[in-house]
Amino acid sequence: MSVKEMALNTTMLNELESGEWPSFVTDLKEYSKKKPVVVQLLNQLEDSYQTRWNYWIGKILNAPGYGGGIIARVSEKADVYPDLANFHTVRVIEPPGWVYSTDALRNLADIAEKNGAGILQFHGMSGDVLLLGFNDAGSLQCAEDLMSNGWDIGGSGAAMRTLQCCVGQARCEMACYDTMKMTKHITDTFIHYLHRPEFVYKFKFKLSGCPNDCANAIVRSDMPIIGTWRGAMQVDQAKVAEFIDQKGMEYLIDNVLTRCPTRCLSVRGKELVVDNSDCVRCMHCINVMHKALKPGKDKGATILVGGHRTLKIGDTMSSVLLPFIKLETEEDMNNFTDFVEKVWEFWNDNGMDHERVGEFIYRIGMLTFLKGIEVEPDPQMVVRPRTTSYIKFEELGPSRFEGEREQNPPVWNREPESRESM
Buried b (16+ CB within 10 A) or exposed e, 165-203: bbbbbeebebbbbbbbbbbbbbbebbeebbbbbebbbbb
> Closest Cα partner for 159 from 188, 200, 118, 98?
200
Query: Contact between 247 and another protein (CB under 8 A)?
Result: no
203 secondary structure, DSSP code? B
Cα of 214 vs its chain's centroid, Å: 11
Member of 3, 9, 60, 105 binding another protein (CB under 8 A):
105
| Region from 340-348, 350-358, 384-392, 412-420 binding another protein, contact rule CB under 8 A | 350-358
Query: Contact between 312 and another protein (CB under 8 A)?
Result: yes
Member of 198, 271, 278, 315 binding another protein (CB under 8 A):
315
For residue 190, give Cα distances in angstroms to 44, 185, 320, 329, 344: 39, 8, 23, 18, 11
| Region from 15-23, 386-394, 402-410, 413-421 binding another protein, contact rule CB under 8 A | 15-23
Query: Contact between 340 and another protein (CB under 8 A)?
Result: no
Backbone angles phi, psi at 83, to 5 degrees: -75, -5
Query: Contact between 15 and another protein (CB under 8 A)?
Result: yes
Backbone angles phi, psi at 418, to 5 degrees: -110, 160
Amino acid at 242: E
Query: Contact between 19 and another protein (CB under 8 A)?
Result: yes
Q: To the nearest whole angstrom, how small is the minimum distance from the Cβ of residue 34 to another protein?
A: 7
Q: To the nearest whole angstrom, how small is the minimum distance from the Cβ of residue 135 to another protein?
A: 14
Shorter beta-carbon distance to another protein: residue 6 or 28: 28
As a three-state string, the secondary structure of 330-372 is HHHHHHHHHHHHHHHHHHHHHCCCCCCHHHHHHHHCHHHHHHH
The angle at the Cα of 162, spanning 122 to 346, to the nearest 5 degrees, equals: 155
Q: Are 356 and 202 in contact (CB under 8 A)?
A: yes
Spatial distance between the Cα atoms of 130 and 92, rounded to a whole number of angstroms = 6
Query: Contact between 51 and another protein (CB under 8 A)?
Result: yes
Spatial distance between the Cα atoms of 98 and 163, rounded to a whole number of angstroms = 11
Backbone angles phi, psi at 410, to 5 degrees: -60, 150
Four-point Cα dihedral 205, 207, 212, 216, nearest 10: -40
Query: Contact between 278 and another protein (CB under 8 A)?
Result: no
* Per-residue mark of binding to another protein, 216-235 (x: CB under 8 A): xxxxx-----x---------
Query: Contact between 215 and another protein (CB under 8 A)?
Result: yes
| Region from 166-174, 339-347, 366-374, 398-406 binding another protein, contact rule CB under 8 A | 166-174
Query: Contact between 192 and another protein (CB under 8 A)?
Result: yes
Tally of CB atoms within 10 A around 128: 26
Please, which residues bridge with residue 272 across strands?
Answer: 267
Q: To the nearest whole angstrom, how small is the minimum distance from the Cβ of residue 95 to another protein?
A: 4
Query: Contact between 172 and another protein (CB under 8 A)?
Result: yes
Query: Contact between 101 and another protein (CB under 8 A)?
Result: yes
* Per-residue mark of binding to another protein, 112-151 (x: CB under 8 A): xx----xxxxxxxx------x----------xxxxxx-xx
Q: Which of residues 382-421 bind another protein (CB under 8 A)?
A: none
Query: Contact between 314 and another protein (CB under 8 A)?
Result: yes
Shorter beta-carbon distance to another protein: residue 20 or 376: 20
Query: Contact between 328 and another protein (CB under 8 A)?
Result: no
Query: Contact between 284 and another protein (CB under 8 A)?
Result: yes
Shorter beta-carbon distance to another protein: residue 6 or 163: 163
Member of 2, 102, 246, 418 binding another protein (CB under 8 A):
102
